[in-house]
Amino acid sequence: MPLWLYHLPVWQFGSLLLAGWIIPALASFELVHRLWKPRFDDTDKGLALTLLALVATLNSLLLAFCAVSVWESFRSADSAVSNEAVTLSALSRDLAVMGTPPALEARERVRAYTRSILDEEWQDMQGTPGGTGTAGGGLHVNRIFRAVQRIEPGSAAQQALLHEIWARTNDMLKFRRERVSASESTVPASLWFVVIAGGVMSLIPLLVLPATAFNRAAVIFLSFSTGLVFFFIAQMDRPFVGDLSISPRPYERTLSGMESWDQGPR
């Protein structure tokens, strides 16, 4: 889907997609009956309704599969963001408790990495022009690993804490990769084509029905329901863009927690 659509208010985005299904479907129905004026017998209508049931069933299964798939991807992206932010918060506290100069240096690099997510990477994940990409965040991660490598425990307690620090550092890297991967994955163009083609094919058999008010309502209802699922798939396809996107608030809370720790009692 074009990226500019996701920057519209959600009601405008939804209205455009629904209108994109309802208006062409109803216009095609009217054009066929006013210009072509076909005459179908009962056999033709029966066959068309049978095809409608078959195609609509197959299309419903396809739409359901796509909807579940994009919803799971959205949840995975949201989980990766939350897990990474929690891991960064815990890592910063562990480093603060360690308290040695190398540990405090590593903590400042954790702070710089968290800020880079908010100030640089998030724009890139949203597709905002001028984004600096995710490469800068990767450099911050490398600096964190190098800083942690220089920590030398001076007691058994610090040795145990260092094991925990390394575990959280590796978790941070894992969740970062999950987040970046989720921001880069979208529904492929071939699947969009199949979804749109299936929706159109499910509407074609309705053209054989007489041009009555009830049948017009049936065309509107079927195209509206197809457009709703299509809208849901489109919204969930880009988890970091739009009004319903994942919020960067977990990282903001991480930074706030670090500042609260710095200002707290020693």
Residues whose CB falls within 8 Å of the CB of residue 219, separated by 6 or more in sequence, listed in order: 25, 26, 29, 203, 206
- pLDDT for res 135: 59
For 112, residues 6+ apart whose C-beta sits below 8 A from its C-beta are 140, 143
- CB count, 10 Å around CB of 128? 12
Looking at residue 130, its pLDDT comes to: 45
pLDDT at 191: 85
Q: What is the 3-state secondary structure (H, E, C) of 91-119?
A: HHHHHHHHCCHHHHHHHHHHHHHHHHHHH
Q: What is the pTM of this model?
A: 0.81
CB under 8 Å to 145, separation ≥6 — which residues?
A: 169, 173
Residue 266: pLDDT band with limits 50, 70, 90: low
Of the spans 112-121, 128-137, 232-241, which averages the highest pLDDT? 112-121
pLDDT of amino acid 257: 93
Tell me what pLDDT residue 134 has.
57
Instruction: Say yes or no to pLDDT of 131 above 50.
Output: no
Inter-CA distances, 115 with 70, 91, 119, 189, Å = 29, 15, 6, 34
Report which of residues 192 and 111 the model is more confident about.
Answer: 111
Question: What is residue 132's three-state secondary structure?
Answer: coil
Identify which has the larger pLDDT, 178 or 51. Answer: 178
**Cα gap 238→258, rounded to integer Å:** 30
How far apart CA 108 and CA 186 sit, in angstroms, is: 34
Max intra-chain CA distance, the chain: 91
The whole-number pLDDT of residue 163 equals: 95
Stronger pLDDT, 190 or 91, i.e. the higher one: 91
Instruction: Report yes or no: 137 and 113 within 8 Å, Cβ to Cβ.
Output: yes
Per-residue tokens: 125? 């994940």
Tell me, what's the pLDDT at 215? 87
Mean pLDDT across 215-221: 90
Residue 188 has pLDDT above 90, yes or no: no
Domain ranges across the chain = 3-261
Cβ partners under 8 Å of residue 61, min gap 6: none
pLDDT over 80 at 127, yes or no: no
Region 231-236 average pLDDT: 90
Residues 208 and 264: their CA atoms lie apart, in Å, by 74
Instruction: State the DSSP string of 194-246.
Output: HHHHHHHHHHGGGGGS-S-HHHHHHHHHHHHHHHHHHHHHHHHHSTTSSTTSP
Q: What is the mean pLDDT of the chain?
A: 88
One-letter amino acid at 114 equals T
pLDDT, position 90: 96
> So what's the pLDDT on residue 118?
92
What confidence tier does 177 reach under pLDDT thresholds 50, 70, 90?
A: very high
What's the pLDDT tens digit per position in 67-113?
898 999 999 999 999 999 999 999 999 999 998 999 999 999 999 99
- What pLDDT was estimated at residue 129? 47
Rounded to whole angstroms, the Cα distance separating 123 from 127 reads 6
Cα separation values, 68 from 64, 232, 236, 245, 258, Å? 6, 10, 10, 17, 37
